[in-house]
């Protein structure tokens, strides 16, 4: 049975196209996916991301336990800070990527919906010391407000003053008697906030957010927006067989400390990798790359992980894995039986956004 978020009835009233995703019935779009993505880039959109998982870690050994299992260094976090990390396995592969929220007495992990149960079981399996682990996702709803007008919008509609909240920080507030956790984070590349509340309060918060110029946006727009920024998606750019080095995420990796999967990762840093993640584009109309399509130079050298038409740029973009020794500037992707030329480029695809990394 597919689950539903507490906002499902609202999506139906808004005539959303509902699709199965990560075990949930979720809105793919309300209007046009491309228009929803563009509106987020230009103004402000509202996303239901209540399908995401939340796991809490407590206990005096919580820091050492978490530090051993993730790619980042949680010891550098201060209270009310957020940190991006990858949960690693014994072979250095990516079990999941996640956000770590640091409270004075606990750590709050936000994980991908498709991996919630897997991540929880993985953490329990590696539990050691004085550590308590709780899967609390069933209690929490999450609403993302994203776009260059997001700060102004929340001030005008909910009287939330968030100008002092820096990027990758969070605060706890009370709104009309409802406890909220608000972080300046998101998955679109635009300025924005993610609001966490108890499920019973989700409709109240959505309805108060959903005033003025804001529009709803679904999974389709969310996927295009993250791709335009070169953000990875689990099951596409990430998997348990792919390491952070192969995924081009060495900058999120500690190397001095002892951590799970360290041996393979350090060997890759020293000796190199067999495959690497690349980014590419084409201005040829109709040539849209999709996941699992084959990539060629002279011979087959890899596969597409994500691809789409970018409404912001007006042409097709994508990412994929190729043989590490490949050093060309063009590739070919087989689309509908024909090999189409794409040029390599750097990430992100969209260089200028409203994101405030201060």
CATH assignment at residue 167: 3.30.1360.120
Instruction: Give the start-end residues of each E strand in 5-124.
Output: 17-21, 24-29, 45-48, 53-58, 82-88, 94-102, 107-111
Looking at the fold, whether 33 and 144 belong to one and the same domain comes out as yes
Domain for residue 241, yes or no? Answer: no
Looking at the fold, whether 186 and 320 belong to one and the same domain comes out as no
Domain residues for the domain of 278 are: 274-345
Looking at the fold, whether 157 and 26 belong to one and the same domain comes out as yes
Looking at the fold, whether 148 and 220 belong to one and the same domain comes out as yes
Domain for residue 214, yes or no? Answer: yes
Domain for residue 235, yes or no? Answer: no
Looking at the fold, whether 148 and 41 belong to one and the same domain comes out as yes
How many CA atoms within 13 Å lie on the side-chain side of 145?
Answer: 27
Determine the pLDDT at residue 255: 82
Domain for residue 240, yes or no? Answer: no
Looking at the fold, whether 46 and 151 belong to one and the same domain comes out as yes
Distance CA 140, CA 197 (A): 6
Determine the pLDDT at residue 157: 97
Looking at the fold, whether 164 and 47 belong to one and the same domain comes out as yes
Looking at the fold, whether 145 and 224 belong to one and the same domain comes out as yes
Domain for residue 199, yes or no? Answer: yes
CATH number of the domain within which 285 lies: 2.40.30.110
**High-pLDDT (> 70) share of the chain, %:** 99
pLDDT band for 35, please (50, 70, 90 cuts).
very high
Distance CA 55, CA 303 (A): 33
Looking at the fold, whether 167 and 24 belong to one and the same domain comes out as yes
Determine the pLDDT at residue 358: 55
Looking at the fold, whether 292 and 213 belong to one and the same domain comes out as no
pLDDT in tens, 211-259: 999 999 999 999 999 999 999 999 999 999 999 999 999 999 998 789 9
Distance CA 16, CA 218 (A): 8
Distance CA 128, CA 306 (A): 37
Domain for residue 210, yes or no? Answer: yes
Residues 119, 95: contact at Cβ < 8 Å? yes
Number of domains in the chain: 2
The structure tokens listed for 65 are: 């336990």
CA 188 to chain centre: 8
Determine the pLDDT at residue 284: 97
Q: Which of 194, 228, 262 is the last residue of a domain?
A: 228
């Amino acid at each position: 049975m597919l689950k539903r978020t507490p906002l499902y009835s609202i999506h139906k009233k808004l005539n959303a196209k509902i699709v199965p995703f990560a075990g949930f019935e979720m809105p793919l779009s309300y209007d046009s996916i491309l228009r929803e993505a563009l509106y987020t880039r230009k103004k402000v959109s509202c996303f239901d991301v209540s399908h995401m998982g939340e796991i809490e870690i407590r206990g005096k050994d919580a820091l050492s336990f978490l530090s051993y299992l993730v790619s980042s260094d949680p010891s550098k976090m201060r209270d009310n800070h957020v940190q991006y990390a990858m949960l690693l396995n014994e072979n250095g592969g990516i079990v999941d990527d996640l956000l770590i929220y640091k409270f004075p007495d606990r750590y709050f992990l936000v994980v991908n919906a498709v991996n919630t149960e897997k991540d929880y079981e993985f953490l329990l399996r590696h539990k050691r010391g004085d550590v308590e682990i709780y899967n609390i996702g069933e209690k929490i709803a999450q609403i993302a407000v994203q776009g260059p007008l997001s700060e102004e919008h929340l001030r005008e509609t909910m009287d939330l003053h968030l100008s002092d909240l820096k990027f990758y920080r969070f605060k706890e507030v009370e709104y009309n008697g409802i406890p909220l956790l608000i972080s300046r984070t998101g998955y679109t590349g635009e300025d924005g906030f993610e609001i966490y509340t108890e499920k019973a309060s989700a409709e109240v918060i959505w309805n108060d957010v959903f005033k003025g110029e804001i529009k709803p946006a679904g999974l389709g727009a969310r996927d295009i927006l993250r791709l335009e920024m070169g953000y990875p998606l689990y099951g596409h750019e990430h998997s348990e067989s792919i390491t952070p080095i192969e995924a081009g995420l060495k900058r999120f990796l500690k190397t001095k400390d002892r951590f799970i999967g360290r041996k393979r990762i350090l060997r890759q840093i020293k000796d190199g990798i067999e495959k690497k993640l690349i980014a590419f584009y084409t201005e040829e109309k109709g040539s849209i790359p999709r996941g699992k399509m084959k990539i060629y130079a002279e011979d087959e050298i890899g596969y597409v992980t994500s691809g789409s038409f970018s409404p912001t740029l007006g042409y097709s973009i994508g990412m994929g894995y190729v043989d590490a020794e490949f050093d060309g500037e063009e590739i070919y992707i087989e689309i509908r039986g024909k090999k189409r030329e794409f040029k390599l480029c750097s990430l992100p695809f969209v260089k200028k956004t409203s994101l405030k990394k201060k």
